[in-house]
Amino acid sequence: MSFSSISKLSGQLVYQLGGDKYKNFIHIYLSWKKVVGELLASKSYPIKIENKVLFVTVHNNTWMQELILIKDDIISKYKNIYEEEIADIVFLISSPKGKCKRRK
């Protein structure tokens, strides 16, 4: 009898539930911390991908500016690690009421 880790099984379950339609987004969401680092991942998170454009919610202007400055690095790092393409990233500032302001 072989045992699998819970994180591996939960990852497989998420992919099965999401299906092919959400496969790319799930992959990006689960690997966000690895791509941007623990600090930036704690201040931001991907919310959707549409036409190879990734939409990311950020806590405030300061963290958004930091992510904008390294946006090209994030895109190339993701492409090098996972061999998947993101054409652009749009950052949105999350507000306490759940509304977002769009910044590019």
CB of 12 closer than 8 Å to CB of 3? no
Residue 25: the pLDDT is 80
Spatial distance between the Cα atoms of 78 and 74, rounded to a whole number of angstroms: 6
Domain borders along the chain are 6-103
Residue 16: the pLDDT is 57
Residue type (1 letter), 14:
V
Distances (CA, A) of 23 to 54, 57, 69, 84: 14, 19, 27, 12
Which residue in 67, 65, 47 sits closest to 57, CA to CA? 47
Specify the CATH class of 6-103 in words: alpha beta
Residue 45: the pLDDT is 93
pTM above 0.85, yes or no: no
